[in-house]
Amino acid sequence: MDVREYLRPQMDQVEAFIQASLVSDISLLDATNRQLRENPGKMLRPVLTLLCAGALGQVNEDSIRYAAATELLHNSTLLHDDVVDGATERRGQPTVALLLGGTAAVLVGDFWLTKCMDAILGASIESNRVLHIFARTLGSLAEGELLQMQKARRGDTGQEEYVRIIYCKTASLFETSAMSGALSVRATEGQVRAVGEFARLLGIAFQIKDDIFDYTDSEKTIGKPVGIDLLEQKITQPLLCALDCVPEPEADAVREKVVKISDNPALAPEVRAFVLEHDGVRKAEEKMLQYISDAIACLEILPETPEKNYLKEMARFVGKRNY
């Protein structure tokens, strides 16, 4: 059975909670929120919360609240990201920033963020600790974005900085989703740490896969044009793997090209060709698969349940997905 079908009753509760949370008597806000929920995306983070809760106990009202909170926070950050990035399309639809302007998009994102906090504060099990975890993630999201901006200007992103950036921007919320699910069912500290580490590694693998798409025919599979990351001067895993294969002077020359791409976009195909020539995509895939393998190993201390098996399937899906 597909995981979404397995979780359908619980996911319906999460969706109903989100919909009720976003109701507003301000017609512009209410209409915008309803439109955003018409195409909710993969909802991987609530799925992760519910699976971790179910693997370690019985899903309850607080599990639903924390699952909804992860989706509310995720979408809040997307609304803000679209303003930062100047994005005109999200999930195949015009962004709020395009339709209503950046100011409105930021305010709608802020509204979703407050509803995230309300969802957590209304819980009775470990709500204070979960709130602290979410707050830490908010800080990580901001730090990751700023570190990426700093590194893009300098072109000096290394492996350590890259992993920190993708932890902050992606894996931190995966980690929070898993830990909040475990905490909602009063899991042991060892179990909370285990699912948190599983989700951290999974989130890193998930972002590496996204970064691989930038060097493949992603437009045919996920609707994302090839080379967007390069045009934003981002040095990601495929490029890092390729840079490791050449002498330092040659690597420095490629990094210099990345820095200049914003002024000279014609350099982007040259950098992409360099990555493909030096097998950067395949080597990045190997790193991603190692993260997935390490993530699955973290689940060994969990009891044998359908949810544990679905968590393993979820990890394998990350490596195989084409969207």
124: which DSSP letter? S
* Rounded distance between C-alpha atoms, residue 42 and residue 254, angstroms: 35
CATH of the domain at 171: 1.10.600.10
Question: How many structural domains does the chain have?
Answer: 1
Q: Rounded to an integer, what distance in angstroms lies between the CA atom of residue 263 and that of residue 115?
A: 40
Q: Three-state SS for 125? A: coil
Per-residue pLDDT of the chain (323 residues; tens, 9 = 90+): 799 899 999 999 999 999 999 999 999 999 999 999 988 888 999 999 999 999 999 999 999 999 999 999 999 999 999 998 888 888 888 999 999 999 999 999 999 999 999 999 999 999 999 999 999 999 999 999 999 999 999 999 999 999 999 999 999 999 999 999 999 999 999 999 999 999 999 999 999 999 999 898 654 444 455 678 899 999 999 999 999 999 999 999 999 999 999 899 999 999 999 999 999 999 999 999 999 999 999 999 999 999 999 999 999 999 888 77
3-state secondary structure 225-286: CCCHHHHCCCCCHHHHHHHCCCCHHHHHHHHHHHHHCCCCCCHHHHHHHHHHHCCHHHHHHH
Instruction: Quote the domain boundaries for residue 278.
Output: 3-320
Query: Residue 308 to residues 52, 144, 150, 264, 314: CA-CA distances in angstroms?
Result: 8, 30, 39, 49, 10
